Amino acid sequence: MAGIKIRRVDLYSDDALTGTTELTDDEMGVYVRVWLLMYATGAPITIEKLRSVCKSHGTRFKSIIGRLETLGKVMINGQRITCKRCEKEIQRALNRLTKASQNGSKGGRHKDLAKAAGFDQDNPTSLSSLQQPTKKDSEAIASGVAGAPSTPEIDPVKGLFDRGVKLLVRSGVKPEQARTLIGKWRKSYSDPLVMAAIVHCEDHSIIDPIPYITRFLENHRGQNGNGQASLTPASQRFRASRQDTVDAALRVKREREARERGTGGS
């Protein structure tokens, strides 16, 4: 973007190490120079520009570039060379800089965004858009009477799919393919283990999550992500149903005891 100079981009060390294990030292050196030149210019570079900053020349240089292209690390179009991951990071950096510039020109946080979050800039001491619970509401919630606001039921399977699809789509996978792949993982491994693999990818900013998750699941086969034996989906549903029954019985018992204490046990 004209007028904006990128000074910083995100570098994910775990991703870089995991994704370059097959490269030789010479290949890694040229590959890193591709990153640096693209980040410095904010765009794809020419092969001639890359050659000018590399110590490898002639046949060796061509061999390295060819291998990087074969491995999918770079893309070559005529005399221009680019790296898809670098393009994504450049765009993220540009978006970050553009947003900061826009916020700065408006004097900080955008008013509409602030109001959407329940904050009135014209009256900074109020949260007028957020409805505060009344004493009556609090008593109703505590007593569990009809009409009291209920906590929405959480669907762990939906949460797993939503989180996994978001992760895979971010790496370039189509949503339909992502859902299909997550479904296959769930058939072979327990839901907690699949979720653990997804979270691990997020925490370590893995560039290519599919092979990473596949290795993670295989390495932890027979565990649920916490070192415990895994359960099949059917076993998980049975255990969850049984636990719901126990929880319901305990809740009824606690409510009865609370009523007895409130009436003096009469």
DSSP codes of every residue in 22-34: TS-HHHHHHHHHH
Distance from C-alpha of 133 to C-alpha of 148, rounded to nearest angstrom: 11
Give me the sheet containing 75-77, strands edge to edge: 45-46, 80-82, 75-77
- For residue 80, the model assigns a pLDDT of 93
Distance from C-alpha of 114 to C-alpha of 132, rounded to nearest angstrom: 18
Q: How many residues does the chain have?
A: 266
- For residue 32, the model assigns a pLDDT of 93
Q: What are phi and psi of 51, to 5 degrees?
A: -60, -35
- CA angle at residue 167 from 191 to 241, to 5 degrees? 20
Check: CB of residue 47 under 8 Å from CB of residue 76: yes
- For residue 224, the model assigns a pLDDT of 54
Amino acid identity, position 68: L
Which residue segments constitute the domains of the chain, with CATH numbers given? 13-89 (1.10.10.10), 156-219 (no CATH)
Distance from C-alpha of 4 to C-alpha of 252, rounded to nearest angstrom: 63
Sequence-ordered list of residues with C-beta below 8 angstroms from that of 33, at least 6 positions apart, any chain: 50, 53, 54
Successive 10-residue mean pLDDT values, the chain, 266 residues: 66 82 90 90 90 88 92 91 89 82 61 46 45 54 51 75 92 92 91 88 86 89 55 57 72 83 63
